[in-house]
């Protein structure tokens, strides 16, 4: 999935820019991203949050941080941000907490954007510290202190008496502590790495001890089931240090969703991508006369053709969409900078997008493991090995270490586009300036803007970019789109009950979309 990540909502584009500058260069052969553009001076964002979000947090930008951890982090920021909104929102709308509990509002005089910003900045810094280790947010505390703001941190004892709406920092800290205790520490991701290990053994953070998933194909066993996922073997440094992929964070498939109850996610199960997997012998080759009931060869040729003559423009899009947490998800911020949306609507959009992205990740991972489909990177060089283009087939960017079907990126793009459209983002300016080298690999070669007619066409291009890049088969993109849209609709039904009266949301149906704590 996205290899460099940072989106802390918005101004966080700048977190990325700074973080890239501070991160040690990645090993040879690993693609580094370029710098991201400086933040647009935003209209409605409180100064304290802007200061906090533009401080560098290098760890979050590491290329190895995959989609589950990115979205887990962004949800740990977006959910407390919404809780802060309930306390400090100025308008007449009443918000619950992200998970539906009543909120104690601040007195009217204290309900300002600046107070919300203090609450949100505190929650953001503490969420980073909790997930990546105390000290991660030191640059945030330094930058905000230099600007005259005092944010309490997770070690703070001054907030011990509990949240007092007159102290926005303490409210933010309480919101993030509640999220940590009630959600993060119980989400089944094995973040502390102690699951299944004897006392005293060194922890193995995020190790999968739950699913029992093991690939049927492997570097040692070879390919025994042609249509099933096979670990890609890559030369990490270019000097013979070969590593085989392992499926990343398979336990995400069993993790607790945030807003859509698991039973509703399960109703969204997809049909298998291949109906006749047993019709294919491991040595199957296209055009050699063997039956091809699932039309693997058509799909393989379509992917080869789509990637055959990639223009620099398409290469740029492949890379931009490859990091949805830093690209399409950031579009929400444009609701503030150019869209004229009130701060509250923006924070509701962040709730919906981040909760969607996590819940979609849970279901996408479940489906990826259940169908265990091969990616083009391993299947095409096998079944088209008699053709030069097939034998040499290499995706435009390294494929993520997960099975093909459904495409997570397609799910994110279509679901986020749907949410933005529903919440008033239909009028967003979709001309997006990129700086030279912004997406990595020297692309774009000069500063340029990418432009889309509509959120729909942006999401379609995003899905197709997975095929152009040789990352996913078309069926995986179609399935990702269907799943992403379905999860997004479920999320909006629940958000309607958390933020009733928000323009674009349906009325809250009690007992429906009740979601909430796992
Ligand atoms: C909190 O205290 C622990 C233990 O002393 C330390 O490792 C951590 O960095 C501290 N966190 C912050 C945010 O200062
Ligand atoms: C943590 O969560 C548990 C279970 O929901 C609850 O009983 C406990 O009071 C919480 N602790 C804190 C410090 O919030
Ligand atoms: C949309 O954004 C681009 C890039 O920031 C800018 O050049 C253009 O003027 C904007 N269009 C409108 C209609 O605001």
Residues 159 and 264 grouped into a single domain? no
Which protein residue's CA is at the shortest distance from atom 12 of ligand 2?
181
**Which tokens belong to 446?**
């000069």
* Domain count within the chain: 2
Q: Is residue 400 a part of any domain in this protein?
A: yes
pLDDT at 277 over 60: yes
- State whether the Cα torsion 164-167-173-176 is positive or negative: positive
Q: Is residue 65 a part of any domain in this protein?
A: yes
Residue 416 belongs to domain spanning: 233-498
What is the pLDDT, as a whole number, of residue 64? 79
Distance 124 CA to ligand 2 centre (A): 21
Residues 135 and 238 grouped into a single domain? no
Distance 80 CA to ligand 1 centre (A): 21
pLDDT in tens, 180-210: 999 999 999 999 999 989 999 999 999 999 9
pLDDT at 515 over 90: no
Q: Is residue 217 a part of any domain in this protein?
A: no
Residue 153 φ/ψ, nearest 5 degrees: -110, 180
Q: Quickly tell me which residue has 């529903």 as its tokens.
A: 422
Residues 148 and 16 grouped into a single domain? yes
What is the pLDDT, as a whole number, of residue 371? 98
| SS3 label, residue 351 | helix
**Final residue belonging to a domain, choices 186, 218, 242:** 186
Residues 142 and 291 grouped into a single domain? no
Q: Is 221 exposed, middle or buried (0-12, 13-18, 19+ CB in 10 A)?
A: exposed
Predicted confidence band at 9 (pLDDT cuts at 50, 70, 90)? very low
Q: Is residue 207 a part of any domain in this protein?
A: no
What is the pLDDT, as a whole number, of residue 234? 87
In terms of average pLDDT, the best of 21-30, 355-364, 418-427 is: 355-364
pLDDT at 173 over 80: yes
Q: How many residues does the chain have?
A: 518
Q: Give dist(CA 26, CA 3) in Å, integer.
A: 12
Question: Which residues, other chains included, contact 386 with Cβ-Cβ below 8 Å and sequence gap of 6+?
Answer: 285, 286, 287, 288
Does ligand 2 come within 6 angstroms of the Cβ of 517? no
Q: How far is CA 45 from CA 219, 261, 341, in A?
A: 50, 32, 11
Residues 450 and 340 grouped into a single domain? yes
Q: Quickly tell me which residue has 């007195």 as its tokens.
A: 107
Question: Do the Cβ atoms of 168 and 52 come closer than 8 Å?
Answer: no
Distance 125 CA to ligand 2 centre (A): 21
User: pTM for this structure?
Assistant: 0.90
Q: Is residue 126 a part of any domain in this protein?
A: yes
Judged by its nearest atom, the ligand closest to the C-alpha of residue 122 is 1
Q: Is residue 289 a part of any domain in this protein?
A: yes
Distance 155 CA to ligand 1 centre (A): 6
Q: Give dist(CA 395, CA 468) in Å, integer.
A: 9
Question: Do the Cβ atoms of 472 and 466 come closer than 8 Å?
Answer: yes
Residue 277 φ/ψ, nearest 5 degrees: -60, -25
Least confident of 323-332, 387-396, 434-443: 323-332
What is the pLDDT, as a whole number, of residue 334? 82
CATH number assigned to the domain comprising residue 239 = 1.10.606.20
Q: Is 59 exposed, middle or buried (0-12, 13-18, 19+ CB in 10 A)?
A: middle
Which protein residue's CA is at the shortest distance from atom 9 of ligand 1?
134
Predicted confidence band at 339 (pLDDT cuts at 50, 70, 90)? low
Q: Quickly tell me which residue has 């919404």 as its tokens.
A: 82
| SS3 label, residue 59 | helix
pLDDT in tens, 385-403: 999 999 999 999 999 999 9
Q: Is residue 192 a part of any domain in this protein?
A: no
Does ligand 2 come within 6 angstroms of the Cβ of 182? yes
Q: Give dist(CA 147, CA 67) in Å, integer.
A: 33
Least confident of 181-190, 421-430, 491-500: 421-430
Q: Which atom of ligand 1 is nearest to the CA of 141?
A: 13
Q: Is residue 72 a part of any domain in this protein?
A: yes
Ligand 1 site: residues with CB under 6 angstroms? 129, 134-135, 153-155
Q: Which atom of ligand 2 is nearest to the CA of 177?
A: 14
What is the pLDDT, as a whole number, of residue 189? 97
Residues 264 and 410 grouped into a single domain? yes
Residues 331 and 435 grouped into a single domain? yes
Predicted confidence band at 43 (pLDDT cuts at 50, 70, 90)? low
pLDDT in tens, 293-321: 999 999 999 999 999 999 999 999 999 99
Distance 454 CA to ligand 3 centre (A): 14
Pocket residue to mutate for ligand 2, from 161, 181, 184, 518, most atoms within 8 A of Cβ: 181
Distance 181 CA to ligand 2 centre (A): 6
């Amino acid at each position: 999935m996205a290899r460099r990540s940072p989106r802390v909502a918005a101004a966080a584009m700048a977190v990325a820019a700074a973080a890239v500058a501070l991160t040690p260069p990645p090993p040879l052969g690993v693609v580094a991203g370029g710098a991201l553009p400086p933040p647009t001076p935003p209209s409605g964002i409180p100064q304290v949050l802007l200061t906090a979000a533009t401080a560098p947090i290098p760890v979050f930008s590491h290329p190895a941080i995959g989609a589950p951890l990115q979205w887990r982090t962004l949800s740990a920021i977006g959910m407390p941000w919404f809780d802060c909104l309930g306390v400090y929102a100025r308008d007449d709308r009443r918000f619950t907490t992200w998970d539906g509990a009543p909120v104690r509002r601040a007195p009217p005089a204290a309900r300002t954007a600046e107070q919300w910003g203090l609450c949100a900045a505190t929650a953001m810094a503490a969420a980073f510290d909790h997930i990546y280790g105390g000290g991660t947010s030191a640059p945030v505390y330094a930058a905000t202190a230099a600007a005259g703001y005092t944010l309490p941190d997770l070690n703070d004892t001054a907030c011990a008496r509990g949240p007092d709406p007159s102290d926005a920092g303490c409210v933010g800290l309480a919101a993030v502590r509640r999220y940590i205790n009630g959600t993060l520490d119980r989400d089944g991701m094995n973040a502390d790495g102690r699951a299944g290990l004897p006392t005293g053994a060194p922890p193995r953070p995020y190790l999968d001890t739950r699913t029992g998933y093991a690939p049927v194909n492997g570097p040692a066993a070879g390919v025994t089931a042609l249509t099933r996922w096979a670990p890609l073997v890559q030369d990490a440094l270019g000097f013979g240090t070969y590593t085989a992929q392992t499926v990343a964070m398979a336990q995400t498939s069993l993790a607790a969703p945030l807003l859509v109850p698991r039973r509703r996610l399960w109703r969204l199960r997809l049909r298998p991508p291949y109906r006749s997997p047993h019709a294919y012998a491991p040595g199957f080759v296209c055009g050699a006369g063997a039956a091809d009931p699932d039309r693997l060869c058509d799909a393989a040729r379509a992917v080869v053709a789509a990637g055959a003559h990639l223009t620099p423009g398409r290469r740029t899009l492949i890379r931009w969409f490859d990091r949805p947490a830093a690209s399409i998800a950031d579009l929400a911020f444009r609701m503030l900078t150019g869209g004229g949306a009130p701060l509250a609507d923006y924070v509701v959009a962040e709730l919906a997008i981040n909760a969607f992205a996590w819940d979609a990740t849970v279901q996408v991972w479940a489906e990826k493991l259940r169908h265990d489909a091969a990616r083009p990177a391993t299947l095409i060089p096998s079944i088209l090995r008699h053709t030069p283009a097939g034998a040499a087939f290499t995706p435009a960017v390294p494929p993520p270490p997960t099975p093909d079907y459904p495409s997570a990126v397609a799910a994110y793009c279509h679901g986020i586009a749907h949410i933005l459209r529903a919440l008033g983002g239909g009028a967003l300016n979709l001309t997006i300036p990129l700086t030279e080298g912004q997406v990595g690999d020297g692309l774009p070669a000069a500063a340029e803007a990418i432009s889309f007619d509509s959120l729909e066409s942006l999401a379609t291009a995003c899905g197709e970019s997975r095929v152009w890049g040789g990352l996913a088969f078309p069926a995986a993109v179609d399935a990702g789109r269907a799943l992403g849209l379905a999860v997004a609709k479920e999320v909006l039904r629940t958000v309607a009950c958390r933020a009733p009266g928000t323009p674009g949301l349906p009325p809250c149906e009690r007992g429906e979309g009740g979601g909430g704590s796992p």
